[in-house]
Structure 1
Amino acid sequence: MTIPIFYTISDDFTPYLAVSLSSLAENADPEKDYTVIILHQGLSPEHQDALTACGKGKLRVSFRQLDEELLAPIQNRRGNYLRADFFTLSIFYRLFIPELFPEYDKAVYLDADTVVNADIAGLYQTELGSNLVAACHDQSVHYIEPLQTYIRDCLGLDPAGYVNSGVLLMNCRAMREEGFVDKFLRLLTTYQFNSIAPDQDYLNEICAGRIKLLDPRWDAMPNDFDPEMADPALVHYNLFYKPWHFAGVKYESYFWQAAKETPFYQELKQELADFSEQDRQAELAKMQGMVDLVGQISQDPQNWFHVKQEVKVTL
């Protein structure tokens, strides 16, 4: 049995992905078979070589460059997916995995800003039943009331069931049978609404009612509210809590321990040293920008919640 693990990145995220891959390989069971597939739109040969070298034992790394034809519906809707400057086109790649890889009935997807502290097979072996995906609550927004308001009043979803899309177990077979990608493209191209977390919002909307909630230890996130989890299986440095930008980030020790095993360790330490106080304030301002955007979207008569009520959208 092969365990497929997908990442999606742009070239500038290579050092962080190398850290995640290193931790993934370190905790892989030598008796199991793992295939890592990196979806991208152009990785330099040097970076591909560096990431390939992160594989060891029965963990192999391969690459898939996404073509322009597949991505055209996204690229033609710039106003619909790049509302915030901390998102890039690559956030949507994960949504195409079931169709691009029909050989897999089930797959793991991980964001590049993760560190894996346990055998990922434990996540992969989770029983999905008829659920389309399994994921964890988004702890980076759970305690921020304006973002809870956004989920409830701008998306028309239950905040208690809203999940983070950076760590997913995907029921690829069921997603193909349900026409998940077609539904996503139909929503994207038919309705124009502002969004704070584009890929995540679409995923939560389309999969609503068929999401299995995972143990939170599979997507532990630094925030200013929760105590640090004692034994996280996976740490996700979501949004602005990046240990290569801020010292003292919760769970940072896991990142730097894994980073030491990569050729990018000194580069990452230098990035932290060079990140100025002005840079840090700019990063923190992005969070406030998200909060401010909620106010705008909530007043928008064409926000997704209003559209769903008026048009009676069916998926």
Structure 2
Amino acid sequence: MEIKEFNLKSLREIPIFFACDEGFVKYTMVSIKSIMENASRDRRYHIYILHMGILAATQSRVTAMADADFDIDFVDVTEKMNSIAGKLPIRDYYSNTTYFRLFIPDMFPQYRKALYIDSDTIVVGDISQMYDHRLGRLYAGVCPDRVVAQNEILGEYVEKVLGVKREKYFNAGVMLINCSQFRENHLLDEFLELLHVYLFVVAQDQDYLNILCKDQVLYMEPKWNAQVFGELACPVEEVGLLHFNMAAKPWHYKDCRLAEYFWKYAKYTSSYGEIKEGLESYTDEQRYVDSVSGEKLVALAVSEINREDNYLRQVTNAHRSEEKLELLKHIEELEKEGRFAEDAQVNPPAPPLLPEDINYLSRSLKSKTQTKYAFKLVRWFVNLLIKKKQLIIKEYKGVENLEKVADGAVITCNHFNAFDSFAITLAFEQGKLKKKKLYRVIREGNYTGFPGFYGFLMRHCNTLPLSSNFKTMEKFITAVDRVLQKKQFVLVYPEQGMWWNYRKPRPLQKGAFTFAARNNKPVLPVFITMSDSDVIDADGFYVQEYTVHFCEPIYPDPSKKQAVNAKEMLDKNYEAWKAVYEETYKKKLTYTCDEQAASNE
């Protein structure tokens, strides 16, 4: 009966890894003791300590802690180090034992997943609960790094040097490693290759792991890595694992926060006397070094941020397409020359839209069926863009302003991306006006020149195409008037041409405002602001996160003439956009053409 129970436990074995040197192993013992005291005894545990040269006598003291449910073994990684020495760009790189965690999946092929834990930890919960998180095909289970989240400069560092959002940057001192995925995706080889590309000097191995595992991690409950340095991520009574990170070491400081949890277990280890002696002998000089270590870390981060060839700049510059770089250069030239209404991209020639080619607002059964099908395709397509992070909507602001114009309006928006109208469509469908229809004014070539999938959407998703043909434009004007009179909505881009990822509002053309004035309808200005996400697109540029600002509606004055109303609404629309721009980006709106004109006077 006992043998059967033992075999069952063996099948449910939990591997736990530490990495340390001779000087640190005494603290590893305390962490191990805390694990043993709080772990479920329904499981079996195998603790491995990776090292290079820990003395045999020291090893014996640690392995003596083993019991019926816990095996403890030391594994010398010197041979593994020698086997990859030729792949390393520098010889002394692995003096930091925390890098040893990268060897675990390859050195222990019998394990599907494993826990890695830094030695400066105390586990007060049942560690089997952390191990039992399901990872699927994700690389690891982790918790965000609280120091980075709370320090502005370190947060800026991980975003501008690593390309990782500060709230997603994880602390690698506690990891549930998906060994199968590490092996299958050759992450150790990727790490060795990355060493040749860039030497990270701030958080070193943690930075590499964040890059290698980006967007492929499970964020576990913060209680499994409650970092003592800084603000705890959860109430102390909920903590499962305390991490005495940075300089917050209870064996160096008598007043270290939550030190009682460390000493509770330290006193039951054979190293207790040695640890207490270390506390008493820790010098003021050593404490001073600790006090400035954080400042040095921040200084290193600032230096990396300001490097012209930092990692992220190297990566993005290497992959940025020449076509997009030329486009940005052309946009700069257009702004410098004040040619704001021109298209920045050269559109291929497309046939003109003739009166007989279109029946605006057709209500035939065929037309209604095609429109219904087209909108199903749009919803599928938008969901796909969001899933692939090609469309990222961070926030909607002022949506209540959309609800103020329930009887229809001309919606204006800045135009910088082929998908920007989807951001407005999503807000429109989610609000109280979801039963209303939103029509989009599009350029002629989008209607006549697009083949296949995109062409079908352009022709059947409530689009109102412009035309270079006078007779067709008469039909277009009638259609827009009819939409507004039926208390529906028309989306217009009054800047005209699309300027890719251009953040400034451009001078507006009068067409949208003339429609609003003639039909006695309000204008609802929408301005979309952008910020870099942590996703890089196929052209090597950041995918932008959009914040959609719905401004206060602008109403025509019935006592004024149409032309006067149109001009006044245009001016107010521009001022609303300008206000959003200056408030969001914290800078005054200026154009290079104005600056150049001023310098020539």
Structure 2: how far apart are the matches of 1:268 and 1:74?
38
Structure 2: how far apart are the matches of 1:78 and 1:162?
28
1:72 aligns with 85
Higher relative contact order by CA 8 Å / sep ≥ 6: 1 or 2? 1
Instruction: Report whether the alignment pairs 1:207 with 2:220.
Output: no
Instruction: Report the AA paired with residue 280 of structure 2.
Output: A
Instruction: Report whether the alignment pairs 1:252 with 2:259.
Output: yes
1:29 aligns with 40
Structure 2: how far apart are the matches of 1:208 and 1:142?
16
Question: How far does residue 205 in structure 1 lie from its aligned partner after superposition?
Answer: 0.5
Residue in structure 1 matching 2:96, options 89, 106, 109 = 89
| Partner secondary structure for residue 149 of structure 2 | coil
Contact kept, 8 Å, 1:22 with 1:55, in 2: the verdict is no
Question: How far does residue 58 in structure 1 lie from its aligned partner after superposition?
Answer: 0.8
- Change beyond 3 A, Cα 1:284–1:228: farther
1:272-297: CA deviations, max 9, x gaps? 11112221111111111001111211
1:235-283: CA deviations, max 9, x gaps? 1111111001112222211100010110111211111111122211111
Percent identity (aligned): 32
Contact kept, 8 Å, 1:19 with 1:262, in 2: the verdict is yes
Alignment of 1:235-250 (within 5 A): 235-250=242-257
2:158 aligns with 151
Q: Which moved more, 1:276-285 or 1:130-139?
A: 276-285
Alignment of 1:129-208 (within 5 A): 129-189=136-196, 191-208=197-214
Q: Which runs of 5+ in 2 are unaligned?
A: 1-11, 320-535, 539-601
Contact kept, 8 Å, 2:148 with 2:169, in 1: the verdict is no
Instruction: Report the AA paired with residue 195 of structure 1.
Output: V
Structure 1: how far apart are the matches of 2:87 and 2:19?
15
Task: Using structure 2 for the length normalisation, give the TM-score.
Answer: 0.49
Q: Which moved more, 1:137-146 or 1:101-110?
A: 137-146
1:85 aligns with none
Structure 2: how far apart are the matches of 1:221 and 1:74?
34
Structure 1: how far apart are the matches of 2:230 and 2:161?
25
Structure 1: how far apart are the matches of 2:61 and 2:228?
28
Structure 2: how far apart are the matches of 1:297 and 1:22?
39
Question: How far does residue 193 in structure 1 lie from its aligned partner after superposition?
Answer: 3.5
Higher-Rg structure is 2
Structure 2: how far apart are the matches of 1:24 and 1:193?
35
Q: Which moved more, 1:250-259 or 1:304-313?
A: 304-313
Question: How far does residue 300 in structure 1 lie from its aligned partner after superposition?
Answer: 1.4
Residue in structure 2 matching 1:2, options 6, 9, 13 = 13
Task: Using structure 1 for the length normalisation, give the TM-score.
Answer: 0.92
1:115 aligns with 122
2:50 aligns with 39
Structure 2: how far apart are the matches of 1:126 and 1:38?
23
Q: Which runs of 5+ in 1 are unaligned?
A: 83-87
| Partner secondary structure for residue 218 of structure 2 | strand
Question: How far does residue 78 in structure 1 lie from its aligned partner after superposition?
Answer: 5.3
1:56 aligns with 67
Structure 1: how far apart are the matches of 2:84 and 2:270?
32
Question: How far does residue 230 in structure 1 lie from its aligned partner after superposition?
Answer: 2.0
Structure 1: how far apart are the matches of 2:87 and 2:20?
16
Kindly tell me the number of residue pairs found equivalent between the two proteins. 307
Instruction: Report the AA paired with residue 244 of structure 1.
Output: W
Contact kept, 8 Å, 2:200 with 2:207, in 1: the verdict is no
Question: How far does residue 75 in structure 1 lie from its aligned partner after superposition?
Answer: 6.0
Question: How far does residue 69 in structure 1 lie from its aligned partner after superposition?
Answer: 1.6
Question: How far does residue 76 in structure 1 lie from its aligned partner after superposition?
Answer: 4.4
Residue in structure 2 matching 1:287, options 272, 294, 316 = 294
| Partner secondary structure for residue 134 of structure 2 | coil
- Change beyond 3 A, Cα 1:53–1:212: same
Q: Which moved more, 1:228-237 or 1:278-287?
A: 228-237
Question: How far does residue 72 in structure 1 lie from its aligned partner after superposition?
Answer: 1.7
